[in-house]
Amino acid sequence: MTAGVSKARVLTVHTLNPRRAGHPWSARADKLQSITGLMLGGFLLLHMHFESSILLGKEVFYQVVQLLEGGMFSSTGHGFPWVTKLFSVLMLAVVCLHAALALRRFPTQLGQWRQLRAHLGSIAHKDTHAWFWQLITGFVLFFLVPVHLFTMILNPEIGPHLSAERVYHDNAWLLYGLLLPAVVVHAMIGLYRVAVKWGWVQQRAPLRKLIKALIIYLLLLGSASLLAYMVIGQGLSLPVTPFVPGGG
């Protein structure tokens, strides 16, 4: 009898031991994934609004680019393209880290996908369906985001004419047309899930409405910006001359 009690106590202690029940790296990985997700989601919000300055005219977009590239530290007022290159390298590193952490929960076998689809079809849980769409868009972004960032690393020159040339004459609109909905949906659902995961919000319904509104708003903003680049690019003749304030 005593031996049985002792054995039960040993099992209980071992079971409740966090190092035995689960590897401590799992919790750290969750936190790191959330942190990198917040960084990328915040960057997306800023990036799309900076890009949309083209809607206010070439001059405004040009000034925004010079500001972001440190033009105030240049004697000519022109920014440094290497700033864009360096920032693109850093963002690529964050994206790779975030993707590596997210792959821990990615279904890797056909049977797992079938079980997931069957599970989704049998429940009407909104957060689970949102997670599924984040999973799908994450898979798409795994291929599209590196292409975009490598483009900016290899050719960091940005401007009303140069960006329009990339979009229209280099057919980058194909990439951005796929990238826009995938990255917006993935990022906004990700921000929602981080807020819920760490208990920052108690009422999920209002947050869902806010996220849906942000998705629609960002899709419209991004589409309008992409169309503006297309219109500008269509009016440019090759070889493209960089935009100069006051020169058109």
Query: What pLDDT does residue 112 have?
Result: 53
- Note whether residue 94 is domain-resident: yes
Model confidence pTM above 0.85:
no
Q: Is the bond into 239 cis (omega within 30 degrees of 0)?
A: yes
- Report the C-alpha gap between 37 and 105 in whole angstroms: 15
Task: Tell me which residue range forms the domain holding 223.
Answer: 22-234
- Note whether residue 145 is domain-resident: yes
- Note whether residue 5 is domain-resident: no
Environment class of residue 3 by beta-carbon count within 10 Å: exposed (0-12), middle (13-18) or buried (19+)? exposed
- Note whether residue 2 is domain-resident: no
- Note whether residue 111 is domain-resident: yes
pLDDT by residue (tens digit) across 168-206?
999 999 999 999 999 999 999 999 999 998 889 888 899
Tokens of 55: 């809607």
pLDDT by residue (tens digit) across 205-247?
999 999 999 999 999 999 999 999 999 999 999 899 999 887 6
- Give backbone dihedrals phi and psi of 75, rounded to 5 degrees, phi first: -65, -25
pLDDT by residue (tens digit) across 22-78?
567 778 888 999 999 999 999 999 999 999 999 999 999 999 999 999 988 887 878
**Number of domains forming the structure of the chain:** 1
CATH code of the domain in which 178 resides: 1.20.1300.10
